[in-house]
Structure 1
């Protein structure tokens, strides 16, 4: 189990001060609650600080009563002290001069009991107020993290595809989940505690100077030593924590790899090698973890040593002050308690330094995500509606696009696709096939030229209006945790079960779905492991059919299905082609023989255009691609 304060190494932020200020700015909506929490903590700390002073008065009452009963009755305090001096007991007289006693009177247990009752009430009130402050702190932090999560979720919806293309999925997920969780845990563990510790330091120090400036200065002598110990130990422990968590990551990666590929490990008989690698990495983790925990474990006993040193100094100097009559025993007792209360928050603040550093580093990563460049805003005048019922005519007029300024991809491309046509786009990897579809969906904006849908420039349409008429099936299937029926209905809100089943029949998925134990109510996990890759693809195609798009985009959608299913999908596509304009991105040219138009792209330009037979007859780029695939297939069979 890991988490803040449990061995995780501090991740150094690039701008600790700036990110820390920005993090504090996230609490601006909670200012009223923060002020209330601070007020409650001030009162609570004040009661905790005054407690030892009151308790010291009880000690003085007990000691004064003990001394008073030893002295003759009827004398005043001054007469009793003068009698001691006449006997040559000047030291005892000096010590008792700082005490409050009445000769001949014993311990006033009623007064002592009243003082103890007051102390109990004071500490109980302090505890209840601390509990209240903790509740306020928890609510403030939870609400702040809640708002931050909302902002991140809204930000993800506004990020362009280009951002997600440049960032790994794991990195984005880590910022959204791990970093926000770490930030929340850090704030929960440090915000109230550090405020309480700082108030305690100030309050205790003030009372210590009030009781005895000399003893207060003595107590402060050990502060630089405490800071030195915390700094030295922290610097030595940090590299060991880094090594520990690096080893942890390596070990976790090996375990995950062996778990996900356990079938292959067993098939190829690599269990022994896998176990040996695990043992080596586990040993490395053990060594690194032992060093990290041992060095960091020095902090507590070292700080206890410094605290005990402080205790000894206060006790010795305080005893001398009592002997001289400058302080009462109760005041010294209170001061000893204050010295403990003073060193404890110092230790807590020092131990929270790594937590705060880690939390600010996580906050900085979240802020980097929030500051990422968003997709271009809708231009002025956008939001126009298509004239009449969408037909699906697509025109590209002199379209140019490039991902980076120094690498042109699509230059001056023009194309016209009539409603109901099936357009296949083929070409080598990097030719611009998927880019063309991304431009049509406005995942990227064209650099120059324009794309028209039914005669309307898509730049004048809102992205939501444009994409509502386009269905897309990717090579990589995506299913969420839920039933098969819910996955199919994802693209059409409010779809009935009959419509879901009709879409499944059109995609030739109905048959295999009904063979499952729960049919359409079969629950899939988020990876869809309960069905095969081809069956997952059929479900996604059924989802696209149910959305009833004007334009259907299939990006290698049949690459994961067997030949028979592929033929069935092609037949379904033929039935639906009269109602939809279809774009098919294909590498296997055998799947697009019946396309109305085949576009052959190379280096962002259409080098050939026509149907299957005419392009083969032209003996150009398409013919070379087709023959190379045929030759490869023959070679694989041989």
Structure 2
């Protein structure tokens, strides 16, 4: 990922963020117009109040004073209305950019290779998708436009002050150089603290997500107190980063207040003398007092605006670092029809890292409708074969062909639609049984779901659930047993009617009774389609057309169950070992 610089305002970075404003440019320009309008409108009230004192109060003209005050009240209503629309459309713009950018980021993440997720904490990606993008929306809703408005207000106020009385203005602005120096120090302190804050937020999210998902392990091994200590330490680091920013604010705000008071004191000290000597009118003095308040209020608000802009810049850098990550499978294939189901591996070499080969010169063939089973010790390369067929990972050498066509020539979406995978660790979403089967694919009807459940032999247990197919299985299917979750995954595979079926250790975690039901489901699923079965329980693959025994990424034996038993080789030893374990 790119290095995070944490600049308060990076023009190149902002230009990139601004591209996402293009669909809403009319709203942006309207909000910008209102920002400029409010900056100009704000100075009218002090000027009118000053004139009211000099013209109507001094000359004892209550009628003229009433009319002028009505004008001031009218301006207040106009200003309030403009402020409402400016705030509303600025926030609307920010949220619109957020929804677009978040969708683009999520879509980009879903295209990553599985290797990326092996190295990146999920909690970190959650932070990028949620809180970091939320800070980008605030660039428009509370950051940039508000800063522009405050700066314009300062420029207009100072310009009007000089136009009315340059001497009073100079006295009023004596503390400004000190204030500018204080803002520079404040800016540098805030920049460092906010970089640390975002880093600690990512650490918190990653730790919390990982440990909540793995709570069963934490409790089984009695790690609650130890993990609590780790969390407390991370939380303390998060607090420390926030306190640094609070420390900067706690110094800066009093400095602004003191300088504001000094400016007001200098104004009154010189202005009262000017009024006595007739060089300054009372109206001008009151007007300048109001101007001082208008001058220092935006300066104080700029600190908060700077906070928002700083966090938005840091958040956008982090989001774009993910968007700039090239870790997705190249999808240059164009074939999107005609898969019959034959699979060929020709001299395939594969490693997850450098040349630490998991598969070594692997070659085998599965004809359409055949069932090929892979057995071997952990780390032999069985699951790697599955990942390569689906193109979750890319192999380094050799060829993988489907129907004599290189797997890379197929459109990736079409290829994966034609391959169904049933994993050992079944993942179910917090949703209904029906939606977990169809994955909310509108092309799959309720009738098809029910027929698939009946075909697999799982309709009986589903219909006994409260709500039947509308039963909410909760997060990760926690309301169902392991066997029930596995059966739902079989229905899911069946209803998509793939040409190629992959079963990766699909019966290793279920009890004997569930295994019998699942074995019947496997027999139905593998009927008339090419099937790759990775088995831990060797009793489930005896009907396979061919069994391939792997060891350290190479084929050491292959044949039918009976042929391999007759050879009395490695497969026979595995069978004997499992038989002894069960007895």
Contact 1:58 1:115 in 2 (8 A): yes
Return the index of the structure with the highest Cα Rg. Answer: 1
Q: Report the CA distance between 1:152 and its aligned residue.
A: 2.1
C-alpha contact 2:350 2:358 (8 A) present in aligned 1: yes
Structure 2-normalised TM-score?
A: 0.86
Alignment of 1:427-506 (within 5 A): 427-490=376-439, 493-506=442-455
User: Hey, what does 1:593 align to over in structure 2?
Assistant: 542
Partner residue of 1:418 out of 367, 370, 377: 367
- 1:543-564 deviation digits (Å, cap 9, x = unpaired): 1122222211011122332122
Identify the residue that residue 120 of structure 1 maps to in structure 2: 73
Supply the distance in 1 between the matched residues of 2:522 and 2:553 (Cα, whole angstroms).
27
How many residues end up aligned between the 2 structures? Answer: 577
Contact 2:400–2:407 at 8 Å: present in 1 too? yes
Residue 513 of structure 1: how far off its partner (Å): 1.7
| Contact 1:394/1:417 (<8 A) preserved | yes
The alpha-carbon deviation at position 423 of structure 1 amounts to 1.4
Q: Aligned residue for 1:609?
A: 558
Tell me: CA distance 1:291–1:520, structure 2 relative to 1, closer, same or farther (3 Å).
same
Classify the secondary structure of the residue corresponding to 2:439.
helix
User: 1:236 and 1:463 mapped to 2: Cα distance?
Assistant: 48
Structure-2 residue corresponding to 1:362: 315
For 2:446 and 2:95, the matched residues in 1 are separated by 40
Q: Hey, what's the Cα distance between the residues in 2 that align with 1:236 and 1:14?
A: 12
Quote how far apart the aligned CAs of 1:449 are: 3.5
- SS class of match (1:584): strand
Task: Tell me the residue number matched to 1:584.
Answer: 533
What is the CA-CA distance between 1:584 and the residue it aligns to?
A: 1.2
Aligned equivalent of 2:45: 51
2:507 is aligned with 1:558: yes
Aligned position for 1:314: 267
The verdict on how the C-alpha distance between 1:435 and 1:248 changes in structure 2, with shifts beyond 3 A counting, is: closer
1:335 maps to: 288
- Deviation readout 1:237-279 (Å, 9 max, x if unpaired): 88888589959977996899589859986x99999x6999699
Residue of structure 2 equivalent to 1:371: 324
Gaps of 5+ in 2: none
Q: CA deviation at 1:203?
A: 0.7
- Distance verdict in 2 for CA 1:459–1:512, change over 3 Å: same
Stretch deviating more after TM superposition (186-195 or 11-20): 11-20
Equivalent in the alignment of 1:42: 36
| Residues 359 and 625 (structure 1), Cα distance of their counterparts in 2 relative to 1, 3 Å cut | farther
Q: Is the 8 A contact 1:479 1:528 kept in 2?
A: yes
Cα separation, 1, equivalents of 2:230 and 2:162: 59
User: Which residue of structure 2 lines up, in the alignment, with residue 61 of structure 1?
Assistant: 55
Q: CA deviation at 1:472?
A: 1.0
Contact 1:251 1:282 in 2 (8 A): no
Query: 1:566-585 deviations in whole A, cap 9, x for unaligned?
Result: 12222332344341221112
Contact 2:126 2:205 survives alignment (8 Å): no
Answer whether contact 1:134 1:192 (CA < 8 A) is retained.
no
In terms of mean alpha carbon deviation, does 500-509 or 344-353 score higher? 500-509
Query: Which of 135, 138, 161 is matched with 2:91 structurally?
Result: 138
Q: CA deviation at 1:376?
A: 4.9
2:5 is the counterpart of 1:22: no
Corresponding residue of 1:104: none
2:170 is matched with 217
SS at match of 1:385: coil
Alpha carbons of structure 1 residues 137 and 244: separation in structure 2 relative to 1, 3 Å: closer
Structure 1 residues 471 and 254, CA gap change in structure 2 (3 angstroms): closer
Corresponding residue of 1:163 = 116
Change (3 A) 1:145 1:283: closer
Q: Hey, what's the Cα distance between the residues in 2 that align with 1:374 and 1:248?
A: 21
